């Protein structure tokens, strides 16, 4: 057959066969090298102790992981060479069984220890074994899957593996509940001790929390593998949910959801039968206190409103609104605390918790607190009041109202802008209407050929004739500058702040009309353009 192939094709086939053989040789050498290191360390392990033993255990685990990763890389190929990989898979399965037996021996040795402080040492050792077993069972699950792909009959091994998983899940399920109860008791002891809590009590809470997290993590890992084998894990998932309180997709499982619902209903029923009357009475008292607090808060707002409005201190409208709003909220807050105490809440820890939360929130809301502080400064120093026309924070308009964190301003074109208080307090505040008089600054220019005295008389007549111009202070009309193309007069009448624009626009319009009627020119900039022609030399 090969003799009939073209020479070039035979060469390509030979090269491909040689490359594949070379790759298999390199892979074989690599796998054999790793396996040799594992076998050597396993053989030396029984005769070692202490740190050397820990080191050998670490290196065996690391090399076993490296070997399995190499096998995984080969098995994940499109057409893996299962015949070549089969012996290594079988050997790895035997190795995992040996490691499981080793862990079982370690557990027995730990349980046999006794003496002062041995309980914590045993628990720490068991936690370490749990972590290692998590990796071991995951590895064995993967190897069994590869064995089926390679055509190896592992039915018996699979059944034994599932049985071991179920046994482990049962143990972990009980261990989770045990750790949870121990943790709850330890936390309760710390709360009872209060300021006298010891370092050992704190350390125990941390240790139990770590144990609970580890056992929950191991149970979750076991559940995932059991799910892959189609086993019923509803009971174990219910345990995880009861401990962690995390709502995951497992809650959608009918068995888990029904078990949880049944448990909650039983607890609610027992509580209702034993404490139903007392709870109902406390809820009625709670609602009644809140209702009375609301009524008292309204009365307090009315009293404060009358007090601040008639006060000789002449509070600004902003400060009056602040005191009125604050009084109602303070009364209701006190009523809420009293109502909570009727439900059995301890006010001292609650207030302490509010204090701690306040510090945390303070760091998180620094900008808001800056606005709050700026609002307090505005209320104290009263740079403006409700209805004032101001220019602050880059905004011009009338103050509508103000809270402790922001000020609402309506612009002259009736837009509502909410400006943070720190933007206002941290910038120049121009209160346009706080004074009762405002000067209108106008500039008018006449031509160099016009009569200055005549123009000045016309301007004075126009200003003095306007009904909104104040007689005192007296308007100022002066020749100001000699410009490039005009002689400029400044015209500065005084008026009320609310009449500013009326005076400005009326005088400007009247000046133009009177100047035209009196023959006074209003020059505008001009530029002469000169064009020069030059002869082009030929």
CA distances from 509 to 462, 469, 491, 503, 506 (A): 10, 15, 14, 10, 5
Cross-strand pairs, 395: 392
Tokens of 50: 């202490």
Distance (Å, rounded) from C-alpha 74 to C-alpha 81? Answer: 8
* pLDDT at residue 444 in the model: 94
How many residues does this entry show for the chain?
A: 538
d(CA 536, CA 538): 6
CA angle 3, 8, 14 (to 5 degrees): 75
Q: What percent of the chain has pLDDT over 90?
A: 13
Q: What is the DSSP letter of 113?
A: -
Min mean pLDDT across 33-47, 106-120, 256-270, 363-377 is at 256-270
Are 235 and 260 spatial neighbours (Cβ–Cβ below 8 Å)? no
147 φ/ψ angles, rounded to the nearest 5 degrees: -60, -40
For the full predicted model, state whether its pTM sits above 0.75.
no
Mean pLDDT of 60-75: 82
Q: What's the pLDDT tens digit per position in 474-517? A: 999 999 999 888 999 999 999 998 899 999 999 999 999 999 99
d(C-alpha 26, C-alpha 215), whole Å: 42
Q: How far apart are CA 61 and CA 24, in angstroms?
A: 25
Continuous segment of H or E residues that includes residue 33: helix 7-44
Average pLDDT (106-118) is: 69
Q: What is the pLDDT of residues 197-247, one digit of tens each?
A: 787 887 888 888 888 888 888 888 888 888 888 888 888 877 777 776 544
Query: What burial letters (b/e) apply to 195-229, b meaning 16+ CB within 10 Å?
Result: eeeeeeeeebbebbeebbebbbebbbbbbebbeee
401-445 pLDDT, tens per residue?
A: 877 788 899 988 889 998 988 888 888 888 888 888 899 999 999
Q: What is the pLDDT of residues 284-338, one digit of tens each?
A: 888 888 888 888 888 888 888 888 777 666 676 766 777 787 788 888 888 887 8
Apex CA 104: angle with CA 98 and CA 108, to 5°?
145
Alpha carbons 297 and 307: distance in angstroms, whole number: 15
């Amino acid at each position: 057959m090969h003799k009939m192939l073209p020479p070039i094709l035979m060469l390509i086939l030979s090269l491909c066969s040689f490359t594949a053989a070379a790759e298999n040789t390199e892979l074989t050498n690599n796998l054999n090298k790793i396996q040799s290191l594992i076998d050597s360390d396993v053989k030396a392990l029984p005769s070692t102790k202490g740190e050397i033993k820990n080191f050998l255990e670490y290196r065996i685990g690391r090399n076993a992981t490296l070997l399995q990763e190499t096998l995984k890389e080969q098995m994940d190929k499109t057409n893996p060479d299962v015949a070549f990989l089969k012996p290594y898979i079988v050997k790895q399965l035997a190795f995992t069984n040996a490691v499981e037996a080793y862990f079982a021996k370690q557990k027995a040795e730990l349980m046999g220890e006794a003496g002062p402080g041995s309980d914590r040492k045993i628990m720490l050792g068991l936690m370490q074994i749990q972590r290692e077993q998590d990796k071991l069972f995951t590895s064995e699950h993967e190897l069994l899957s590869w064995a089926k792909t390679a055509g190896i009959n592992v039915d018996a091994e699979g059944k034994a593996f599932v049985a071991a998983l179920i046994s482990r899940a049962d143990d972990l399920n009980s261990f989770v509940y045990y750790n949870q109860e121990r943790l709850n008791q330890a936390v309760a002891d710390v709360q009872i001790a209060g300021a006298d809590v010891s370092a050992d009590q704190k350390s125990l809470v941390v240790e139990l929390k770590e144990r609970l997290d580890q056992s929950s993590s191991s149970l979750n890992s076991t559940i995932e593998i059991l799910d892959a084998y189609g086993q019923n894990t509803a009971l174990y998932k219910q345990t995880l949910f009861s401990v962690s309180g995390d709502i995951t997709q497992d809650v959608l499982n009918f068995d888990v959801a029904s078990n949880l619902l049944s448990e909650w209903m039983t607890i609610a029923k027992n509580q209702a039968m034993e404490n139903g009357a007392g709870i109902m009475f406390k809820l009625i008292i709670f609602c009644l206190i809140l209702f009375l607090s609301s009524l008292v808060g309204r009365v307090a707002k009315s009293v404060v409103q009358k007090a601040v409005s008639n006060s000789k201190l002449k509070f600004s409208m902003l400060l009056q609104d602040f005191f009125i709003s604050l009084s109602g909220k303070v009364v209701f807050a006190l009523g809420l605390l009293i109502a909570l105490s009727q439900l059995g809440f301890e006010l001292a820890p609650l207030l302490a918790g509010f204090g701690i939360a306040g510090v945390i929130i303070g760091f998180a809301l620094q900008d808001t607190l800056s606005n709050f502080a700026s609002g307090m400064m505005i209320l104290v120093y009263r740079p403006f009041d409700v209805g004032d026309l101001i220019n602050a924070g880059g905004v011009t308009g009338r103050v509508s109202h103000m809270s402790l964190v922001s000020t609402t301003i309506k612009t002259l074109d009736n837009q509502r802008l909410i400006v943070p208080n720190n933007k206002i307090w941290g910038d120049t505040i121009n209160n346009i209407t706080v004074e009762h008089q405002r000067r209108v600054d106008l500039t008018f220019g006449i031509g160099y050929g016009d009569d200055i005295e005549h123009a000045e008389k016309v301007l004075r007549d126009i200003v003095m004739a306007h009904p909104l111009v104040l007689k005192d202070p007296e308007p100022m009309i002066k020749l100001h500058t000699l410009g490039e193309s005009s002689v400029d007069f400044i015209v500065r009448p005084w008026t009320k702040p609310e009449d500013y624009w009326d005076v400005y626009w009326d005088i400007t319009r009247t000046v133009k009309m009177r100047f035209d009627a009196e023959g006074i020119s209003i020059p505008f900039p001009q530029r002469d353009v000169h064009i020069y022609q030059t002869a082009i030399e030929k």
